[in-house]
């Protein structure tokens, strides 16, 4: 079980490193500001995502963020597009460089319905087709 989680973490890390090195954001989306990177660090569970070849058929996917010695965020490069974030930094809506990439992240394995509905509505207003989101299972401890 731990091996599968490690593989998923590595896959998520590769995904995030590759995707968030971009400095672009979909038209109509706005990055969260102010963004407190220290509060964003730690473990996040992937709740939903658009299909992406590096994560195809993966469940129990997580990402863990930490600081590098130079103060940058490990795994995530500078162009990270957090477009919605609750005040407690427990739930995040993350956009890729275009309308083909979108994630809902959580500090827990689930998201309250009101947060899920709010993030889906925002994504749709920006122009995302949320009907094809993959809802990730978290059934391993």
At the topology level, CATH places domain 2-135 in Lipocalin (2.40.128)
Give the tens place of pLDDT for each residue, 14-33: 344 444 444 689 999 999 99
- Strand segments, DSSP code E, in 54-101 are 62-67, 73-74, 81-85, 91-95
- pTM of the predicted model as reported, rounded to 2 decimal places: 0.69
Give the tens place of pLDDT for each residue, 60-97: 888 888 988 998 878 643 348 889 999 999 999 998 88
Domain boundaries, given as residue ranges, for the chain: 2-135
Phi-psi region of 75 (alpha: psi -120 to 50; beta: other; left: phi over 0): left
């Amino acid at each position: 079980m731990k091996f599968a989680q490690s593989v998923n973490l590595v896959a998520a890390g590769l995904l995030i490193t590759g995707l968030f090195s971009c400095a672009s954001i979909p038209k109509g989306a706005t990055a969260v500001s102010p963004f407190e990177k220290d509060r964003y660090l730690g473990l996040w569970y992937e709740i939903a995502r658009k299909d992406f070849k590096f994560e195809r058929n993966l469940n129990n996917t997580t990402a863990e963020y930490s600081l590098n010695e130079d103060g940058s965020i490990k795994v995530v490069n500078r162009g990270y597009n957090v477009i919605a974030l609750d005040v407690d930094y427990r739930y995040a809506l993350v956009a890729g460089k275009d309308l083909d990439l979108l994630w809902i992240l959580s500090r827990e394995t689930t998201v309250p319905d009101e947060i899920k509905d709010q993030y889906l509505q925002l994504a749709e207003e920006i122009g995302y087709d949320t009907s094809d989101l993959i809802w990730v299972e978290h059934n391993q401890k």
